[in-house]
């Protein structure tokens, strides 16, 4: 399928819409992280930090799509570990995802600690977070989320059905559409998250879950086995169901509290 044929194919548009929806769902954790990090800088720079973070996410994903063969090659074993109780092999993908999981766990636990201690306006090193300091943190995590996003796109869009150019066009359009939608809603979502402390803690807890999921996924990519038990991957469907269920319960709780306050 050529570039222009994508716009005349119903299957291609269905694939674009489906992939756009999945990109938005997968990007929710990204928006939560961006919201929490951007809240630690000056209010006048928060919108700029969110937009830069999401634009970086778009550029990372498009760049990875153009280097799709390189992304696939990262699944090749670099070296193996063979102990009596632990064995597997390490790939480029597993290293990137593992480091991303560690970074997400570190940041989430640190943020929860700071909020409990009452020093949420300072970062780990004790100084105020600058705009570019926040952007660097967002960029680092965007790199990991971009790999996850591209691997999902590869599993959904068939190169045999749409051809190389057609499949690449579909994935790029889905990325662009999803980022535009997230940019439109990032501001209201950030304001809502930062105005409600319980939602902040809930969001950070979700990021801890996602960090654990990334660690399990990186181990699964390397087929690691611990005491004869192969490390499995945590299904994303289960994780996102738990997230949305928790949010629904919290929204009901917030509504009941608001109703009780308004009742004389």
pLDDT digits (tens, 9 = 90+) for 230-242: 777 777 778 778 8
pLDDT band at 3 (very low <50, low <70, confident <90, very high): low
* pLDDT tens by residue, 7-22: 677 777 888 888 888 7
Residue-wise pLDDT for 200-221, tens only, equals 788 888 888 888 888 888 887 7
Place of tokens 């760049």: 63
Most confident of 20-34, 135-149, 200-214: 200-214
Res. 262 pLDDT band, cuts 50 70 90: low
Structural domains of the chain, count: 1
Structure tokens at 136: 């660097």
Residue 121: predicted pLDDT: 47
**How high is the pLDDT of residue 128?**
55
Q: Could you tell me the CA-to-CA distances from 76 to 69, 70, 71, 92, 148 in Å, in that order?
A: 12, 10, 10, 7, 17
Q: How far is the C-alpha of 77 from the C-alpha of 151, rounded, in Å?
A: 17
Query: What is the pLDDT, as a whole number, of residue 127?
Result: 42
Q: What is the pLDDT of residue 125?
A: 37
Rounded to an integer, what distance in angstroms lies between the CA atom of residue 209 and that of residue 101? 10
Is the sign of the CA dihedral 249, 255, 256, 258 positive or negative? positive
pLDDT digits (tens, 9 = 90+) for 67-81: 877 776 777 787 788
Residue 67: phi and psi, rounded to 5, are: -105, 40
Query: Range of 125's domain?
Result: 4-262
- Non-local (6+) Cβ contacts of 203 within 8 A are 32, 35, 36, 193
What is the pLDDT at residue 160?
A: 67
* Residue % of the chain over a pLDDT of 70: 88
Model-wide pTM > 0.85: no
Taking only the tens place, the pLDDT of each residue in 73-103 is 777 787 788 777 777 888 887 888 888 888 8
């Amino acid at each position: 399928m050529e570039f222009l044929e994508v716009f005349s194919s119903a299957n291609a548009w269905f694939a674009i819409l489906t992939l756009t929806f999945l990109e938005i769902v997968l990007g929710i954790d990204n928006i939560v992280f961006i919201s929490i990090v951007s809240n630690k800088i000056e209010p006048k720079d928060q919108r700029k930090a969110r937009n830069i973070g999401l634009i970086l996410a778009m550029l990372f994903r498009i760049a990875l799509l153009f280097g799709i063969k390189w992304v696939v090659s990262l699944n090749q074993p670099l070296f193996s570990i063979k102990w009596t109780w632990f064995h597997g092999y390490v790939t480029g993908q597993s290293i990137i995802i593992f480091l991303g999981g560690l970074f997400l766990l570190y940041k989430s636990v640190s943020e929860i600690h700071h909020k409990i201690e009452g020093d949420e306006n300072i970062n780990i090193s004790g100084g105020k977070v600058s705009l570019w300091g926040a952007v660097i943190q967002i960029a680092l995590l965007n790199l990991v989320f971009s790999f996850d996003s591209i691997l999902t796109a590869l599993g959904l869009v068939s190169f045999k059905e749409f051809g190389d150019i057609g499949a690449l066009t579909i994935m790029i359009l889905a990325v662009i559409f999803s980022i535009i939608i997230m940019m439109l809603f990032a501001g209201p979502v950030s304001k809502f998250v930062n105005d409600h402390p319980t939602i902040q803690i809930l969001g950070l807890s979700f990021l801890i879950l996602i960090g654990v999921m990334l660690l399990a996924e990186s181990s699964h990519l390397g087929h690691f086995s611990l005491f004869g038990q192969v490390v499995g991957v945590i299904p994303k469907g289960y994780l996102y169901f738990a997230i949305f269920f928790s949010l629904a319960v919290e929204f009901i709780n917030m509504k009941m509290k608001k109703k009780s306050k308004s009742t004389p």
